[in-house]
């Protein structure tokens, strides 16, 4: 079941519904090994990965995170108008996305694995992320390679202080993300991206690249959030 590299890059998508199957330690090992092969500035490797499974601290942390995810989604659901427009029709893509999100946050505590990638603070700006988000992407891609799925979220934010205390995360490290991982349950939608020509410029900003066209057969290229 080897996934070719280019295929894996093109087909890995956010997975938010998981079976209760635990993630085998041998697979966790392979995922974290892949994650830590990602580049960091000057190869400093200031990243650290706190893996939450079913230990005592993990159980407490997942409960904290579950509350945070539910309140974050609740705020987003109303702010982004998920009940409005096409969202009024329960069979619309927008309404189905809302249902998936609700299920995701309602069952957060049952997520088999939650990874908190941390990074030693250096510049205090976006560029610190260049030494940890490539590793997050490697983690998600390796999950895909092994038949798992996950999603890169920032919804640990509301409980970051409590998490730091609970898990003894030192002040000089930022929690860069919160990545739930598990075996995908049910069917999942496609990777949905704007047409390539809108995202790529040749020679200068705004100059369309003649060679930047979606491969034949590419679907789901609607631009922007669902109406």
> Which span (32-40, 63-71, 83-91, 180-188) binds its own copies, by CB under 8 A?
32-40
Nearer residue to its own copies within complex by CB, 3 or 185: 3
* CA neighbours closer than 13 Å in the CB half-sphere of residue 112: 22
Three-class DSSP category at 108: helix
Q: 33 — phi, psi (to 5°)?
A: -60, -45
Dist. CA 88–CA 27, nearest whole Å: 41
Both tokens assigned to 110: 């049952």
Site for its own copies in 98-117 (CB under 8 A): none
Q: Is 48 in the site for its own copies (CB under 8 A)?
A: yes
Nearer residue to its own copies within complex by CB, 39 or 85: 39
Site for its own copies in 124-163 (CB under 8 A): 124-130, 132-134, 136-138, 140-142, 144-146, 151-152, 154
Q: Is 73 in the site for its own copies (CB under 8 A)?
A: no
Dist. CA 62–CA 162, nearest whole Å: 12
Q: Give me the residues paired with residue 153 across strands.
A: 178
Minimum gap (Å) between residue 88 Cβ and its own copies: 20
Minimum gap (Å) between residue 226 Cβ and its own copies: 9
Contact residue for its own copies among 161, 168, 171, 216 (CB under 8 A): 168
Q: Give me the residues paired with residue 174 across strands.
A: 119
């Amino acid at each position: 079941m080897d996934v070719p590299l280019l295929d894996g890059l093109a087909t890995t998508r956010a997975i938010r519904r998981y079976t209760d199957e635990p993630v085998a330690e041998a697979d966790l090992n392979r995922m974290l090994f892949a994650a830590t092969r990602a580049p960091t500035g000057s190869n400093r490797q200031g990243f650290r990965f706190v893996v939450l499974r079913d230990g005592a601290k993990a159980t407490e942390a997942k409960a904290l995170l579950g509350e945070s995810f539910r309140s974050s989604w609740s705020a987003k659901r109303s702010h982004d108008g998920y009940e409005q427009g096409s969202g009024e029709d329960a069979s619309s893509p927008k309404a189905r996305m809302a249902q998936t999100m609700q299920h995701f946050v309602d069952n957060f505590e049952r997520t088999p694995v939650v990874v908190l990638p941390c990074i030693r603070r250096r510049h205090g700006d976006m560029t610190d992320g260049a030494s940890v988000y490539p590793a997050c992407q490697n983690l998600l891609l390796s999950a895909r390679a092994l038949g798992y799925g996950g999603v890169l979220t920032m919804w640990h934010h509301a409980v970051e202080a409590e998490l730091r205390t609970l898990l003894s995360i030192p002040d000089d490290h930022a929690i860069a993300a919160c990545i739930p991982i598990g075996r995908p349950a049910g069917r999942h939608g496609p990777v949905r991206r704007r047409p390539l020509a809108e995202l790529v410029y040749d020679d200068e900003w705004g100059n369309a690249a003649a060679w930047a066209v979606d491969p034949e057969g590419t679907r789901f290229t609607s631009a922007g959030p669902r109406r």
